[in-house]
Amino acid sequence: MAHDHQARMEHDRSAIKAAFLYGRHFFEFWQSDLNRAVVELADIEPDMTVLDIGAGMGAAAFEAVKRGGVTVVTVEPTAFMRAILKARVAARRLGLRVAVLNAGAQHLPVPSESIDRAWMINVAHHIGDLAAASAELARVMKPGGRILIVDEDFTNESHPKYEQMMNRHQNHGGHGHGEHAHEKEPPDHEGHPEGRQTGSEEHPMAINFDGLAEHLKVAGFSEIQVRYTSLAGVPTRQAMAVR
């Protein structure tokens, strides 16, 4: 609980700072090809209840709600993002179909076994306790429900923002690109080294998805797949699992 409280304080510390930070990427948060692609992968069926963790301004949520009868539960800890998301919901009169909750992945204010599909997009690297988040996901998912966790792989040189993100990391105290940074392995068809993830686990936006898979397994998920592949034109790290 303490980490969630600390995270909220960090997110909400300065409304002006948040507006500037997120405003620069406004259109990416408003809608994006990656969010649309994740919703397609989620394979939503009519009348399902889906959970969007770290929903931001609702880029994925509004794609999901286009499906017939679908109810979307959004979780977003950042006040600035949540305000815009609520305004979008109100403007479209979707209050009965899109819920907006102030919470983080480790403590979901969602009833047990109530969710058919769930996803996190560029959120996993913000979570301080992936084991706790995995347990919470397992609790809220219906039996047979599926989750999809996707982070863009900014440590992959093929990513359009590779230079920008690595420079930002180095300027904030980064220490190189890991012990295997200079090893070259044959790339797969997506340009990733075959059989292993790319980049450095020291980078703050590069978590170990194989380790995440272990947390999901312990939490009770099955049919777990980890992939390092392109989605919507950018390299990603993905974890998919069934409850």
- pLDDT tens-digit map of 144-184: 999 999 999 888 777 767 676 666 656 655 443 332 332 32
Q: Give pLDDT, residue 157.
A: 77
- pLDDT tens-digit map of 49-101: 999 999 999 999 999 999 889 999 999 998 988 999 999 999 999 989 999 99
What secondary structure, in 3-state letters, does the chain show?
A: CHHHHHHHHHHHCCHHHHHHHHHCCHHHHHCCHHHHHHHHHHCCCCCCEEEEECCCCCHHHHHHCCCCCCEEEEECCCHHHHHHHHHHHHHCCCCCCEEEECCECCECCCCCCCEEEEEEECCHHHCCCHHHHHHHHHHHEEEEEEEEEEEECCCCCCCCCHHHHHHHHHHCCCCCCCCCCCCCCCECCCCCECCCCCCCCCCCCCCCHHHHHHHHHHHCCEEEEEEEEEECCEEEEEEEEEC
CA–CA separation, 178 and 176 (whole Å): 6
Which class is domain 42-177+185-242?
alpha beta
Q: Give pLDDT, residue 122.
A: 93
**pLDDT confidence band for 32 (50 / 70 / 90):** confident
- Retrieve residue 172's tokens: 């904030």
Q: Per mean pLDDT, which range of 12-16, 115-119, 192-196 is the poorest?
A: 192-196
**pLDDT confidence band for 221 (50 / 70 / 90):** very high
